[in-house]
Chain A
Amino acid sequence: NAGVTQTPKFQVLKTGQSMTLQCAQDMNHEYMSWYRQDPGMGLRLIHYSVGAGITDQGEVPNGYNVSRSTTEDFPLRLLSAAPSQTSVYFCASSYTGTGNRDNYGYTFGSGTRLTVV
């Protein structure tokens, strides 16, 4: 049981380049989300999805796109990288709703450290 797998772990981009951060989970979680972590700001929600074919914006969606074609995968696309997107990115998943199966909250990936120069 791999949990949530994020790739790559590290990436350096030049301003204006595009790339996709990959996220996959094998727990059959309906809910998946992307957060970015910046010093002194905690984790902020970029985009989220409550199921295949359904996505929505979080707090800081500008400059990012997502899609959810399968339950397992939730890639995050940077359209034209900017230095302000230098951050650590976390993917997370969970069951939706309530009940005992939600006892363990979110499962996070190990993070992607992105630097835009």
Chain B
Amino acid sequence: AQKVTQAQTEISVVEKEDVTLDCVYETRDTTYYLFWYKQPPSGELVFLIRRNSFDEQNEISGRYSWNFQKSTSSFNFTITASQVVDSAVYFCALRRKQGNEKLTFGTGTRLTIIP
């Protein structure tokens, strides 16, 4: 069975601070995909990143960066110099690479950026 844990239910930081959202996953598969999605107050789900299990290279996209560590089954997400527009619920998710397209979501982390 697959499981995704986002232990941080809610986080508040002051604007311009850096913040890291934690994601820990469990799977018996050796190959899989990990995702992060953003859900702003408007409610839609916005795709942020997909990471393959065989690629442990960290990724940076502007103020966003992701740290994937297979040894600790973690896929953490860092926002640098946070902005009010980053306020949202963030979900981490896991999917098997082959044979099963189902996404298993964590319970989400609500991030509030205080101006």
Count A-B pairs with CB separation below 8 Å: 51
| Dominant secondary structure at the B interface | loop
A98/B50 in contact, CB under 8 A: no
Specify the chain A residue showing the minimal Cβ separation from B91. Answer: A42
Whether B55 sits at the interface, judged by CB under 8 Å, is: no
A43/B102 in contact, CB under 8 A: no
Number of residues of chain B lying within 8 A (CB) of chain A: 19
Which residues of chain A are within 8 angstroms of B105 by Cβ–Cβ distance? Answer: 35, 42-44
Instruction: Determine how close the nearest CB of chain B comes to the CB of A27; give it in whole angstroms.
Output: 13
Given contacts A42-B91, A42-B108, contact A108 B44 (CB under 8 A): yes
The 4 lowest CB-CB distance pairs between A and B, nearest first, are: A108-B45, A42-B107, A42-B105, A43-B105
Binding site for B on A (CB under 8 A): 31, 33, 35, 40-45, 48, 50, 58, 88, 90, 92, 94, 96-98, 102-108, 110-111
